[in-house]
Amino acid sequence: MTNIPFQADSFVQFPTGRVNLEDIHAIFKTMPYELDYVNAADQYIWYSPNPRRDDERLNHSVLGCHPKQVVPMVKKVLSLLHSGEKDMVESSQVMDGHRTLIRYYAIRNAAGDYLGALQVTEDVEHICQLGEQHTFEHGIVEGQVVDEATTASIMDHQNDDKDSSKRQRSHRKPGAPVCDGFTYL
């Protein structure tokens, strides 16, 4: 058991299954991205376990937790989510020298009322580098693991009879942005 005061046998019953509180905490701690939850009053009320984070922002206005130069952007994001004009807003940034994708999701109840926003922050540097190098540590071709396989060799092997340029275009949505050789779908 962790040092967090979980009550024995406490769990959350979801429509898709039941998970105890200690496991929920471990799941959030294991995810390779950070989650922040801001309530309908735009106050930080929760964030996923992360040793680099501080508790000082909990129960404070989200606007007071950002540098002044980004407050207008934060206000705009919150306005779009509150109003229902958008259900998701995303922003790419460089943080600590790493390409980072931040997504803000409107959380709504069954009636569509705004409950808050979930911010998902993910370091995508490794993903971008894989795309730029066209290399994976392991690939699977016809059920066999292939070390140091390239995306092109996997695609060529799976689709020997198709033109590779057509295959690459078919995996991209029309107008999807390409960042440093990596296509975001």
One DSSP character per residue, 63-122 reads: GGGS-GGGHHHHHHHHHHHHHTS-SEEEEEEEETTEEEEEEEEEEE-TT--EEEEEEEEE
pLDDT in tens, 99-145: 999 999 999 999 999 999 999 999 999 888 887 876 655 555 555 55
Phi/psi class of residue 48: alpha, beta or left (left: φ > 0; alpha: ψ in -120 to 50)? beta
Q: Is the pTM of this model over 0.75?
A: no
Considering only CA atoms, which of 37, 49, 52, 58 is closest in space to residue 2?
Answer: 49
Q: How far apart are CA 133 and CA 152, in angstroms?
A: 11
pLDDT at 165 over 50: no
pLDDT in tens, 62-71: 888 888 998 9
